[in-house]
Amino acid sequence: MALDPDRTVRGLLFDRDDTLVIDVPYNADPHRVVPVPGAHRAVERARAAGLRLGVVTNQSVIAKGMATREQVDATNARVDELVGPFEVWCVCPHDAGDDCACRKPRPGMVLEAAERLGLPPESLVVIGDIGADVGAAVAAGAQGVLVPTPRTRAEEVDAAPTVADSLEEAVALVLGHVAAVRA
């Protein structure tokens, strides 16, 4: 299944780890940030098309006491330097058992990003590497694109409404839709 042809896409939200940058578990060290191949080019293409851009990322490293919010913010700033810049960063500092509204697959960060970008959630697409990313998009009324990695579970791929082989392909799908809507 593809993106909804009846929706106008105005913004694009990305997951951070294993979507924009190579996942280093619980990374809060800016020096360990390495972009996924093609990430900068894909983000630039989205920006050039006029899409508003943001990042929504679960960072339980804060709740686990393995890093401070300042360390995570510094790591995110490095992602901004290498891949961005992004207009909005939404970070969930909670752990899986904290029962917060922001941790993906809950919609909190997608809704916050929509509000901060001044866009309705249904005009957003979220690109991520696991089912929680797509789940957060759907729960917020946005659309989701899954870009599987070797860690993505088969059932997550099967359940995703839209799947792309790479970040560049995911952005191209979104941009093809944007061009189709504008035409």
Q: Which residues are tagged catalytic? A: 15, 17
Instruction: Enter the tokens of residue 169.
Output: 């392909």
Instruction: Enter the tokens of residue 121.
Output: 């959630």
Q: First vs last Cα of the chain: how many Å apart? A: 21
59-96 per-residue burial string, b: 16 or more CB within 10 A, e: under 16? bbbbbeeebeeebbebbbebbeebbbebebbbbbbbbe
Nearest by Cα to 131 from 119, 149, 115: 149
